[in-house]
Structure formats: C-alpha cells, structure tokens
Amino acid sequence: MKRTRKEPEKPESPFIERSIVIGLITSTEYIRQIRDVYQTKFLSSPMAKRIATWCIDYYDTYKTAIGKNIEPLYFEKLKEGKLPPDVAEEIEQDILPGLSSEYEREGIDQYLVDSTIRHFEERNHQLLIEKLQAATEAGEVDTFKTLIADFKPIQSNTLTSTQGYNAWELFNMEIKPTEWLIRDLIPKGLTIFGGQSKLGKSYLMLNMVLRLAQKKPIFSDDPETGYYGAMGKILYLALEDPQSRLKQRLLEIEPEPNINIQKIRFEHTWRPLSKGGLTDLELWIKSEKNPKLIVIDVVAKVWDMRSTTGGGRQYSEEYNIFGPLADLAHKYKLSIIAVTHTKKTPEKDVFNEILGGSGTYGSADNLMVLTRTPNNQRQLSIRGKDIDEKHLLFEVSNGAQWNCLGEAEEVQKTEERQSLYNYLMQSGPKKRSEIEQAAKNGLIDIKVSSIPVVIRKMVNDGKIIQHELYGEYSAEGQSNLLVGAKMKRKNINNG
C-alpha cells in the first residue's frame, strides 16, 4: 500500500518575514545587499511573498526601493481583484499603518541584513530536506542523488560580515563594563519575570518603576541599603489592570510622588507583537529622548500565537516571541521586563518554574522569579548571564509597601541566630540536646540540622557563652545571677 506522506509544517517566522518586507519597501541599500541571494521560495508567508515580488520587480526596473509607491500599487492590485482577502487584510492592518516612520529611516540596518541571510539559509536547507524526505518515501534513489548533487548553498557576493574578529583581537579589546537598569541587580537586556497569580508581581514592578523615575533608593527607604537605577523614560504596559485599579495602587505605593513620575507612560492595550506590536515598541523607543525601560505586564496579552505542547514548534514559538524582544533591548541598549506566570508545582530549581521551555529561558538575558516563603514573606530570585545569582527577601505591608530585608540566606542566618539568642536569654543555660528538643517543639525558629553550625558560629562571635564544665550554653549579656544560680544548683546536685 502506498503511504500518504504528511506535509512538513512550515516554520513560524512572522517577525523576520515582516521585517524583511519592511526592508524591501523602504531601503534600496537593503535590497542591494540581499538581491543576489533572494528567491521567493525562501519566504513562507503568502503576504511576504506577494509584497516581496512587487518590491523586487520595482527595484529591478527603477533601481530603487518602492517606498511610498507601495500604497497606490497595493490598492491597484486590490482593485484588480488579484489579492486573496486574508492577504489583503494582513497588508492593510499590519504593514501599511506602520510605514510612515519607516520612510525616513537612514542608513542600512546590518543586523536585518544578517538576519535575512540566516533566514534564507535555513529555508534553503529546509526545502532540501523536504524534497529528500519525499524522494526517500517514494523510493526514488536517483532523484535523491540528484538533489544532493544539485544543491547550492547560499553564497552572497555583496554580504560579507565585517563584525568578526580573531582571538588575539578579542584578547586586546577594551570591553565596556556591564550596563545596568538597577546597579548590581538587573542588567540591561531582556528580563523574564515570573510568579504565581495574586503574589504581588505588579505591585513589585510599580514599586520599582516609581522609585526609578524619582531617583529614589529602590526596595528600601534607606539610602545605604537601597539599590539605585538609571534615570530615563519608562513605558509600562499595564495590560491586566484598568485605570481605576492602577491609580489606586499608585496611591497606595506613593501617596506623595514628585513630578518626575511623568517619565512613566502607561498603556492598557497594545497590538500583538507579531502584528505590529513589536514595531510599536520600537516607535516608542525612537520617539523618546532617553528610553530606559519597557515593562510588559503580562506578556501573554501580546502573544497571539497558538498554544503548543512541546517539541520544536514550542521552542520556535517561544523564541519568536522573546528573541525579537531581546534583540530590541540590545539594539537600543535598554531593558525590557516581560512579566509572566509560573507553574503551580514547585521545582528544585526555582527558575524552572517560569512557564515555557528552552525557547523562553534561552532568549532571556535575566530571569526573575517571585515566590512566597513559609512565613509569608516574598523572595525574589534573580539569575542572569552577566550577574551573580541573588535571592532577595522582602517584607510586604498591605500588599503595596515592599521593603528588602537583604540576601535571603543572610537574613535566614541572622533570624536563626536571633531566635536562639532570644531563647537562651529567656530560658537560661541549656545543653545542646535541650536546644535541639526546643527546636523540634517549635520554640526556636531554626532547623535541628543547623544547630551545631549556628552554635559554633555564635560562640566564635561571642554571642553565646559555652560552659565547658557543664556542657551548656548561655546568651552573652545574660544576667550573671541567673547563670550563677543555675551553676550553683548543679554543684549542689553533683555534690
């Protein structure tokens, strides 16, 4: 029985193909650099194929990009009835509206040229694989051999990378230090911030941006312990909060702000990233004098691709969302924070709780996860490509006021030592076995397994006193009468 071959699925590539279309319409230099490698078959979108054909034909005739002539040409084709309705709708909604600012673009976007060539290379190889699979399933050995022999990799005479360097040149390069949104905490680039619903992600973000805009210490009122960030314009996409709720939260966080909060612009709706939203972000960046931060709260609101369950398609879909956001952040040297949710089931590595797979994690420069501690505090875990991993502990008042207590591990050690110190102050000298039993009974907020280490460190620091004769420990500063009385009783009992 002859098997029916399943047609291979085409890659999801809306971002790069839309960018290719914009380049073909607006830039003569871009067309010149890709013309000798361009083939219509390298594009998968019907809309992209249609516009690319018009642009290339126009360039071959007039030796210039079609520019503003794309609009009358489109309506001419539409009038002739030569455009499928879905293609016409996509052109009219996602391409034409965003062109007005692109016509003034100067120079050549070398990154777009390089990305276009990479996309063409991938499509070229994919098309070959599809043909080879078909030949194999049909048992056509000669066809298979011919396809291999005739395959021609993409070779461009005009596109030659000038960004490369050898190892010696790299060794002698002066590399700029890490650039920060918040010094020692969040570097520039794409940060993916995850947390459970109703845990306070939006409150934390609003706290941060209000402090950034006003040049106040972040996450603390103390100038010595707070973090400081870069001044500049902030775009905050509050896509889940109506205006009334947003204002209420601002009043709760900062009842008397200064005028610098005008640097923050709020938007409650935004186009999907693959349908003009990414272009809109770039337009905002270009329109501002000193853009520093974009917050997307939450990124699912601008993610219009279909849901997937795994495999290569999931990776492609995630990377097609977060990859262009990271590219945008790097291109303009600013920060983008994409807020998302985490899984309900805890993971051994807290960063694996962020919804998504390697396409999400691999795109990001930084990952942040907000979790709740057993005593109802909040822990913010941060991991980045250019920073040491941090776990900050927060005390939250009324949901709106966030105060950073410090590094979670150090805070925990301090709390354990304070708990043991307070216990010994109240109870008098105790043996280690008695201290361990008190911990089991919940009288001391400390793990039993941690007690030997905590005692040793506190003895070395002079915070508790070790009475070697009786194998007991007392708190430093405890009443000498209390200790002496207990020691006297032991002497009498032992006598």
Calpha distance 54→62 (Å, rounded): 12
Token digits of residue 475: 């708190």
As a CATH number, domain 14-150 is: 1.10.860
- The reported pLDDT for the residue numbered 305 is 58
Is pLDDT above 70 for 162? no
Token digits of residue 40: 């219509």
- The reported pLDDT for the residue numbered 367 is 93
Return the CATH class of domain 411-494. mainly alpha
Contact yes or no for 388/206 (Cβ under 8 A): no
Is pLDDT above 50 for 10? no
**Which residues, including other chains, have CB under 8 Å from residue 33's CB and lie 6 or more apart?**
108, 113, 156, 158, 159
Contact yes or no for 78/88 (Cβ under 8 A): yes
Q: Which residue is listed with tokens 């312990």?
A: 225
Give 8 or 363, the one with higher predicted confidence.
363
pLDDT tier at 318 (50, 70, 90 boundaries)?
Answer: confident
pLDDT (mean) for 132-153:
87
What separation in angstroms does the CA of 25 have from each of 64, 73, 124, 258? 10, 12, 23, 45
Share of the chain above pLDDT 70, in %: 84
Is pLDDT above 80 for 441? yes
Least confident of 196-200, 284-288, 301-305: 301-305
Quick one: how many helices (H) and strands (E) in the chain?
18, 14
Is pLDDT above 50 for 253? yes
Q: In 3D, which of 43, 46, 44, 45 has the Cα closest to residue 83?
A: 46
Is pLDDT above 60 for 196? yes
Contact yes or no for 119/42 (Cβ under 8 A): yes
Token digits of residue 257: 């702000």
Give 399 or 187, the one with higher predicted confidence.
187
Is pLDDT above 90 for 169? no
Is pLDDT above 80 for 108? no
pLDDT (mean) for 144-173:
73
Residues 12, 18, 19, 25: what is their CA dihedral angle, to the nearest 10 degrees?
A: 150
In CATH terms, 180-399 corresponds, of 3.40.50.300, 3.40.50.10890, 3.30.465.10, 2.50.20.10, to: 3.40.50.300
The secondary structure of 61-111 as a DSSP string is HHSS--GGGHHHHHHHHHHTT-S-HHHHHHIIIIIGGGHHHHTT--S--HH
The Cβ of residue 365 has, within 10 Å, a number of other Cβ atoms equal to: 20
- The reported pLDDT for the residue numbered 249 is 94
Calpha distance 412→393 (Å, rounded): 9
Calpha distance 204→194 (Å, rounded): 12
pLDDT tier at 492 (50, 70, 90 boundaries)?
Answer: very low
Share of the chain above pLDDT 90, in %: 27
Is pLDDT above 70 for 308? no
* Side-chain half-sphere CA neighbours of 208 within 13 A: 23
Q: Which residue is listed with tokens 């941690």?
A: 450
Backbone Cα Rg of the chain? 31
pTM of this structure: 0.59
Q: Locate the domains of the chain by residue range.
A: 14-150, 180-399, 411-494
Which of helix, strand or coil describes residue 340?
Answer: strand
